[in-house]
Structure 1
Amino acid sequence: MSLSIYGIDLAKHSFSIHGEDEQGKILIHKTITRSKVLSTFANIPPAIVGMEACGASHYWARELTKLGHTVRIMASKYVTPFRTGAKNDLNDAVAICVAVTRPSTRFVKIKSPDQQAILLLHRARDNWVHERTALLNQLRAMLAEFGIIAPKGRHAIQKAIPEALEDAENQLPDLARAILSDSYEHLLNINKRIADQERCFDMLVSRSHNAQKIMKVAGIGPITATAVIASIGKGEQFDKGRDFAAWLGLVPSQYSTGGKPRLGRITKKGDKYLRTLLVHGARAVISAIGNKTDRLSLWCKNLVERRGFKRAIVALAAKNARIIWSLLSNGTEYQPI
């Protein structure tokens, strides 16, 4: 049975809806308030509803699914080519209605509330880490204003600040000491918050068999494991491991024409946060190879010799992404090579 198609342009307070039946006849084309969204779709027979990925899209997707509709979330880049006329909410809804029917459109898997909660934990930790880095740089600059050069590295400067405050001969004014002391206390509070959040990751891993399974892969820790599980679930939205690596932007960009393939740097498309975690994990693995003689270490050493350190890191990150997808999708256990 053919289903009607609806496109909804999400916002905070006003929502634009455009709907067509299987013959292309317009069923609805108007803007409604937030309070009327669910009541409007409750009176619509089961249909395909498309929407752009945004902050509230997963919430509305879950609510509309409860009403019997088939909801499809897509990135805005798939909608833009089908927008005609001026850029406004109703025209966006029309474009979404068209894009949701195209076979080339890729859709975002709807996340559960638990998955979103885990990702909130990741975003909060990432925010605190950025704030800590900025504060450390500020503290180093403050000390430099009075001729005190702090060493590089987080732990080194955290040790240097109390020493500078206790040194009575470094000619730090009382006001400067008070400001540095207050900033240092704030730094300790941030460290505590980050440590608490990292304990939450350990707790989440202890409750997830899939997270424990992918942590057996070299370079994958609790933070990366929980981020992957919360982002892709079991990876059913990808046909193969390379699709997952491509979604993360870990495959070469292509500019080919006339039968001449040209591959460049990695695309850096998709989820930047996950890609960063995988790359940092791969860097840690390759940096600690030393004199190891297992197959993975030998493979990494050979790659570093042939292609260089940074390319080897990206190659290992892409390899880990494909392995993770295989473990989650096929339900198998990791077997070290």
Structure 2
Amino acid sequence: MKTTTFGVDLAKRVFQVHWVDMDTGEINRKQFKREQLVSFFAKQAPALIAMEACGSAHYWARRFAGFGHQVRLIAPAFVRPFVKRNKTDVADAQAIWEAAQRPEMRFVAVKSEPQQAVLTLHRVRQQLKKMHRMQTNQIHGLLYEFGATVHRGWHSMDDAARQLTELADTLPAMVIDTLREQLQRVETLAQDIRTIERRLAAWQRQDEAATRLVAIPGVGLLTSTAAVATIGQASTFRSGREFSACIGLVPRQSGTGGRVKLLGISKRGDVYLRTLLIHGARSVLTHSKHLDDMLQRLLARRPFNVVVVALANRMARMIWALLAHGRTYQPGYAVHAV
């Protein structure tokens, strides 16, 4: 007996399901409320359920897997070519159903709750950092309007507080009070960021995979925890290059007639993880006193930022290799042909 494939278009309250009856060939399109969807799949025989890798997809994937179903998540960009004409819930569910049955389709690994929890901390920290930067820049700008210049950087608030004290006798009290409140908000944001980083550090010490990744030069607390949580299952990728391509660190290709032109990096996939890897690679090239011969030769003939991205690409492949094969980092490791 063949396994039935279901295409599910996710939503907050109303879900669209598309499937074909394997015995009669009848095409079924049905709409469910949230509770109805759960009870519907709880009663079905083990089947293949395909969904877009969008909001709440990992939650529903774990829920359906608990009923004994096989779940596949597809990136929305790979579903779009199968949508016929107008984009509706019915058309989306059918497109997901068709995309899931393509032999060369790529799927997204289902994340566990702990992995999603770690990514939640990263997203909150990222937003707090943005807010901290915005408020810090605003304080710098407002003080500059009154002739006070503040040093740039994360630790400039002590300088801003000193400048504000010096201006206390010349500025209206309402301005001084407002800027002091703003300084307090910036300090609160900094404390919240440090709290999240302590939580990530505690999780990293408990996770064996994240602990092994820290040994890679340029991979620290943020990169190691984000990589483990983002990858999910390393076996989802066939090679380190495929993982690197997934996060946009390989060149785009354009060609015809057998001639292929390599362009800049594709910048597809997870922007956050790619940014962390590039920053880590830049730190290695800037502060490391002992670079290997390959990097030194590359720096001699290519622009600095090109070498940074090349090193980030290599770091991504190392991360995949350590996670996929359960290895530890070995400096100077090289693959020898048998």
TM-score band w.r.t. shorter chain: over 0.9
Distance 2:24 2:271 in 1: 38
Q: Answer yes or no: is 1:210 the counterpart of 2:209.
A: yes
**Does the 8 Å CA contact 1:3/1:21 hold for their aligned counterparts?**
no
Distance in 2, matches of 1:94 and 1:281, equals 42
Structure 2 counterparts to residues 296-315 of structure 1, below 5 A: 298-315=293-310
The Cα shift of 1:234 comes to: 4.3
Deviation, 1:294, is 4.9
**1:262 and 2:261 equivalent?**
yes
Q: Give 2:141's aligned residue.
A: 141
Q: Cα distance, 1:85 vs. partner?
A: 3.4
SS at match of 2:260: coil
Q: Quote the Cα distance in structure 2 between the aligned partners of 1:187 and 1:299.
A: 43
2: CA distance between counterparts of 1:87 and 1:33? Answer: 20
Cα distance, 1:24 vs. partner? 8.0
Tell me how far 1:169 sits from its aligned partner.
6.9
Query: Residue 170 and residue 316 in structure 1: after superposition, are their counterparts in 2 closer, same or farther (change >3 A)?
Result: farther
Partner of 1:10: 10
Aligned equivalent of 2:72: 72
Shift of 1:23: 6.8
Residue correspondence of structure 1 range 276-295 to structure 2 within 5 A: 276-289=275-288, 292-295=289-292
Aligned residue identity for 2:220 = G
The separation in 2 between residues aligned to 1:24 and 1:186, in whole angstroms, is: 64
Distance (Å, rounded) in 1 between the aligned partners of 2:150 and 2:300: 36
Counterpart-to-counterpart distance in 1, 2:271 and 2:53: 16
Amino acid aligned to 2:123? R
For residues 207-286 of structure 1, the aligned pairs below 5 Å read 207-286=206-285
Mapped pair 1:191 → 2:186: no
Residues 246/127 of structure 1: CA separation in 2 closer, same or farther (3 Å cut): same
1:164-203 → structure 2 map (5 Å cutoff): 164-168=163-167, 171-203=170-202
CA contact (8 A) 1:18 1:26 kept: no
Measure the CA separation in 1 of the matches of 2:85 and 2:247. 33
Whichever residue aligns with residue 322 of structure 2, its letter is L
Deviations 1:7-65 (A, max 9, x none): 01000010001111347823531211111001111222211111111111011111111
Using the TM superposition, give the Cα deviation of residue 306 of structure 1 relative to its aligned residue in structure 2, in angstroms. Answer: 1.1
Partner residue in 1 for 2:313: 318
The residue type paired with residue 79 of structure 2 is: V
- In 2 relative to 1, CA 258–279 (structure 1 residues): closer, same or farther, beyond 3 Å? same
Distance 1:218 1:24 in 2: 58
Mapped to 2, the partners of 1:268 and 1:170 lie a distance apart of 51
Q: Which runs of 4+ in 1 moved over 6 A?
A: none
- SS state of the match for residue 106, structure 1? coil
Partner SS state of residue 6, structure 1? strand
In the alignment, structure 1 segments of 5+ residues that lack a partner are none
Residues 197-225 of structure 1: CA deviation (Å, up to 9, x unaligned): 11112111111121111110000001110
* Structure 2 length-normalised TM: 0.95
Shift of 1:164: 1.4
Aligned: 1:335 with 2:334: no
Distance 1:168 1:57, change over 3 A: closer
Deviation (angstroms), 1:151: 2.2
Cα separation, partners in 2 of 1:86 and 1:26, compared to 1, 3 Å = farther
Tell me how far apart the structure 2 counterparts of residues 153 and 59 of structure 1 sit (CA, whole Å): 39
Q: What's the offset of the Cα at 1:104?
A: 2.2
Give SS of 1:171's match. coil
RMSD over aligned Cα atoms = 1.5
CA-CA distance at 1:184 after TM superposition? 0.3
Displacement, 1:299? 2.9
Contact persistence 2:53–2:73 (CA under 8 A): yes
Q: Which runs of 5+ in 2 are unaligned?
A: 333-338
- Structure 1 residues 308 and 100, CA, compared in 2 at 3 Å: closer, same or farther? same
Rounded to whole Å, the distance in 1 between the matches of 2:323 and 2:228 is 9
Q: What is the CA distance between 1:168 and its match in structure 2?
A: 4.5
Check the 8 A contact 2:21/2:28 in 1, yes or no: no
Secondary structure class of the residue paired with 1:303: helix
How many pairs were matched up? Answer: 332
Deviations 1:305-328 (A, max 9, x none): 211110011000000000111111
What displacement does 1:237 show? 0.3
Q: Cα 1:168–1:51, aligned 2, differ >3 Å: closer, same or farther?
A: closer
Q: Secondary structure at the match of 2:28?
A: strand
**Distance in 1 separating the partners of 2:207 and 2:72:** 27
User: TM-score when scaled to structure 1?
Assistant: 0.95
